[in-house]
Amino acid sequence: MTDSRWVVDVDGDSFAGEVLERSRRTPVLVDFWAAWCGPCRTLGPILAKLAEEMQGRFVLAKIDSDRNQDLARHYGVRGIPAVMLFIDGQVTNEFTGALPESRVRKFLEESLPSGADKAVTHALNALSRGDRNEAEAGFAAVLTESPEHAEALLGLTRVYMESNRMAEASATLARLAARDRDGAEAKLLAARLAFAAAAADVAPLTARVEAAPADLAARMALGEALVARERYEDGLEQFLEVVRRNRAFDEDAGRKAVLRVFDLLGPGHPLITRFRPRLSALLFS
C-alpha cells in the first residue's frame, strides 16, 4: 500500500469509488502496471513524484494489471505501463510506455483542467441549479484573469440571456475570439440572440404579409418574430418563401435566416431533416 495522500492503490472492488466517482471531483491518473515490468518501475516513481509536487491537481491510482485483468481488458490495455486520465468518470487522455519526466509533465499540463477551467465548471453547476448570481460572479472572476476564456464568455452570455439582459449578452458573445465562434454553443447563442432581438408582435406582421405577400421585409420580420416565440416551423416557412420569391433579397437574408434556425435547433432535429432538402431545391433548381 502507498502512504501518500495523492497516491492510492486500486483494485476491481474500489475502482468505481476511487476512480470513477472521485474523478468527478478531482482528476484521477490511472497507472496500469505489473511487478515484472521494468518500464513500470521507471515510470511509477515519476508519476508519484509529480502527484506530490502538484498537490492535488490529480490523484494517482495504481492498478496491478496482473491482479486486475478484467479492468485492464475493459479499458483496452495492450501494453504496460498504460496511463489513463479520468475526468468526470471518463478517460480524457492516455499514453503507453515509460515516458521521461519532461514528457509526462507536458502531458499533465496539457491534459489537466486549469484553475480557470475548474472555476467555470463551478459556475456552470451554479447556473444549472438556477443560481444566476453565483454563476455570474464565477464567470466574471474567470474573465478578469483570462479575458478570452471561451467557456466563461459563453456561460456569462447564457446568464445574461436568462436574466433578459440581451444587450449585455450580445456584447459578451462578441468578445469571443474568432477561433471560438464556430462552435455549436456559440452558434446556438448567436442564433437565440438574433431572434430574441426581433421579438415583435406576430399579429400585425401577419396582417402586413397577408395584405402584401410580396413585401419580403415584412415576411422576414414575421419569420423572425415566429422563431422568437419558438414557432420554428412557421418561421422557416416564411424564410423559405422569401428565398423562393427572391433569393438575393437583402443579401440572401432568407437563406441565412434558415441556417440560423438550424443552428438554433441543433443537429438531428426533425425540422432540419424536413427543411434542408426544401432549401437545397430552391437554391439549386
* Backbone dihedral region for residue 251 (phi beyond 0: left; psi -120 to 50: alpha; all else: beta): left
Q: Which of 37, 84, 98, 104 is catalytic?
A: 37
Residue 227 belongs to what H/E stretch?
Answer: helix 216-228
Region 7-111: CATH code? 3.40.30.10
Active site residue 264: no
**How would you write the pLDDT of the chain (285 residues) with one tens digit per residue?**
456 789 999 999 999 999 999 998 889 999 999 999 999 999 999 999 999 999 888 999 999 999 999 999 999 999 999 999 999 899 999 999 999 999 999 999 999 988 888 889 889 989 999 999 999 999 999 999 889 999 999 999 999 998 989 899 999 999 999 989 988 889 889 888 888 876 678 999 999 999 999 999 999 999 999 998 889 999 999 999 999 999 999 999 999 999 999 988 988 899 999 999 999 999 997
Helices (H), 84-131: 101-111, 115-128
Q: Which of 7, 10, 19, 40 is catalytic?
A: 40
Give Cα separations from 138 to 116, 123, 130, 135 (angstroms): 10, 5, 14, 5
What's the CATH class of domain 115-181? mainly alpha
CATH topology of domain 202-284: 1.25.40
* Domain-wise residue ranges, the chain: 7-111, 115-181, 202-284
Active site residue 40: yes
Task: Calculate the CA 159 to chain-centre distance.
Answer: 16
- Give the DSSP letter string of 160-217: HHHTT-HHHHHHHHTTS-GGGTTSHHHHHHHHHHHHHTT---HHHHHHHHHH-TT-HH
Compute the distance between CA of residue 272 and CA of residue 53 in angstroms, rounded to an integer. Answer: 51
Comparing CA positions, the residue from 187, 107, 125 lying closest to residue 150 is 187
Is 202-284 in the same CATH topology as 7-111? no
Whole-structure pTM over 0.85, yes or no?
Answer: no
